[in-house]
Copies of this chain bind each other. A is one copy, B any other.
């Protein structure tokens, strides 16, 4: 096992294995995780962070790969975090994911990691935030966070990236395309992908109608068209991302997003730590007795929790 300073040194050099290990440390709550984060913390904030979100089947992965390739061609080093609380049930899709990773992994200038931590409260959002910071510390220029726009965790994650792109496709129908309202509200850019399909105009009209209903924001999110499979519209997308970045800098948006991100990190870490602390103070016997009492209906859950926290 490497020491924290070994890991830190390899990480700062951009070593992929060290980066992978450091992310795993953060995910698993390794004893060295806190120290590692404390050590990299003062040096962060250099990387650009782009969010790409949308329904399954919208072509997010292909679009992400195209954006990564275009930025790579400019000499940037790119980190990709594929955040997916859903996990496809067919072996085929998982295989496709692996092939994608292997193909990308051949380029030392691109680091890709699938984030699918489960279980811990706020676990996925927290682990993704940690991974963004570690990629930043490792000197990656742009970090792309790709996510299915469904859970609250994901809204939290994309709400504090620099530029949040929401990807839609023609002809999928309202219900399938349903995106969490929270994500629509934080969209900085709408992308109609597979825009050579019939129905692109209708999707655009729907987006405009939805925008007209939403709270007025200082930034009016533009609507772009792409055909990710063919690489069409990718340069325009990047131009709009830069345009939005410039707007953020001139309107105090970066500071606002940094504060929002700090708040999110604080909240999710506090929840994890407060529960751990409360359980440790109560001890496993009292926790088990409380759960048994709820099961037997001799104790209601609200009173059980007050009983556990009462002496904390």
Taking A150-B85, A176-B56, A300-B38 as contacts, is the C-beta distance between A265 and B277 under 8 angstroms? no
Query: Do residues A262 and B295 form an inter-chain contact, with CB atoms below 8 A?
Result: yes
Query: Inside 8 A of A299's CB, which chain B residues have their CB?
Result: 41
Instruction: Give how many A residues have a beta carbon under 8 Å from the other chain's beta carbons.
Output: 82
Q: Copies of this chain, how many? A: 2
Closest B residue to A294 by CB, please name it: B262
Q: Is the CB of A150 within 8 A of B86?
A: yes
Minimum CB distance partner of A290 in chain B: B266
Q: Which residues of B contact A283 (CB under 8 A)?
A: none
Return the contact of A266 from the options B57, B266, B294 (Cβ within 8 A): B294
Asked if A182 is at the interface of the complex by the 8 Å CB criterion, the answer is yes
Interface stretch among A101-109, A205-213, A218-226? A205-213
Q: Is A178 an interface residue (CB 8 A)?
A: yes
Q: Which residue of B lies closest to A287 (CB)?
A: B266
B308 touches A270 (CB 8 A): yes
Q: Is the interface of A mostly helix, strand, loop or mixed?
A: helix
Cβ-closest chain B residue relative to A213: B91
- Separation in Å of the A132 CB from the closest CB of chain B? 12
The interface stretch among A7-15, A17-25, A116-124, A238-246 is A116-124
Contacts of A88 in B (CB 8 A): 174-175, 177-179
Q: Is A99 an interface residue (CB 8 A)?
A: no
A42 to B41, CA, bound (A): 50
Given contacts A173-B57, A175-B57, A297-B44, contact A181 B302 (CB under 8 A): no
On whether the beta carbons of A275 and B271 are closer than 8 Å, the reply is: yes
A274 contacts which of B41, B45, B271 (Cβ < 8 Å)?
B271
Q: Are B259 and A270 in contact (CB under 8 A)?
A: no
**A305–B273 alpha-carbon span in the complex (Å):** 8
Residues B309 and A274 in contact, CB atoms below 8 Å apart: yes
Q: Which residues of B contact A86 (CB under 8 A)?
A: 149-150, 178-180
CA distance A72 to B15 in the complex (A): 63
Known: A93-B174, A271-B271. 7 other contacts (CB 8 A): A33-B302, A37-B301, A57-B175, A92-B174, A93-B175, A121-B121, A270-B275
> Chain A: residues with CB nearer than 8 A to chain B?
33-34, 37-38, 41-42, 44-45, 55-57, 85-93, 118-119, 121-122, 124, 148-153, 173-182, 184, 206, 209-210, 213, 255, 258-259, 261-263, 265-267, 269-271, 273-275, 277-279, 287, 290-292, 294-295, 297, 299-306, 308-309, 312
